[in-house]
Amino acid sequence: MHPKLKIGITDCKKYKNYEHWLLNAPQGVKVIQLSYHQNNLEDVDQCDGIVLSGGEDVHPDRYKRPDLVQHLNEHNINITRDDFEWQVVKRSIELRKPILGICRGLQLMNVYLGGSLIHDIPSIKDFHGHGSKENNDGRHAIHVTESSLLHTVTKNTAGEINSAHHQAVEKYADELVVTATSDPGIVEAMEWAAPAGKPWLLLVQWHPERMPDQENPFASGIRSAFLHQLAEQK
């Protein structure tokens, strides 16, 4: 019997969605909650892979735009979480842990590596097609770069995904490359520009863990590829 894969998931208000998504996978999985409440950074060491979950806005101090704080909802910023997950990312990269970043997870990684964020898509882009409506995820098309990891994972150059965010990548980090976009030019996925010598990394702006159509390759395909990578490295 194969040992269970240990996956660390960063804590958030909808943590159970991520937990259920991974525990329902065909492979044996054990999840470890990586939480700023517990400050259990040391648990990263025993994980086979890391999921950076969604949630609050990354504080604009992190991308050198403190002036933007006045334009954000203070209840949707959590400095303690930012500080803790900054260390989770640092430790995960040092230990070469495969990383799957989802929504805020993509944004956090981009900022960690030197990128910046659009603090509010409706204000900056005058576009309202990416947020949730009445607590229901939106849905829209994306376009995927051929020969990217995401293309390898999903075997598609286009698809439909769910959407529930008001921020997005502005300047992307030099070490990352954009591998999927949606109208009007919103970054939907990123990965290493030069992956050699780096841990496996896939960053997506949507929420595969709660897509109702889990047979969609932009949901199930991502989970399968992530778990396959962990099993390969175990």
Strand-pairing partners, residue 29, are 5
Tally of CB atoms within 10 A around 125: 16
* Residue 103 among the catalytic residues: yes
Alpha carbon distance 148, 232 (integer Å) = 20
E-only strand ranges, 11-98? 29-34, 49-52
Task: In whole angstroms, give the CA distance from residue 100 to residue 29.
Answer: 15
3-state secondary structure at position 15: helix
CA proximity to 138, closest of 149, 126, 129: 129
Q: How far apart are CA 129 and CA 116, in angstroms?
A: 21
Which among 47, 85, 103, 166 is annotated as catalytic? Answer: 103
Active site residue 119: no
* Catalytic hit among 119, 130, 165, 207: 207
Q: Starting at the earlier edge strand, list the strands of the sheet with 158-163.
A: 29-34, 5-10, 49-52, 99-102, 201-204, 186-192, 176-182, 138-144, 158-163
CA gyration radius for the chain?
A: 16
3-state secondary structure of 212: coil
- Is 75 assigned a catalytic role? no
Catalytic residues: 103, 207, 209
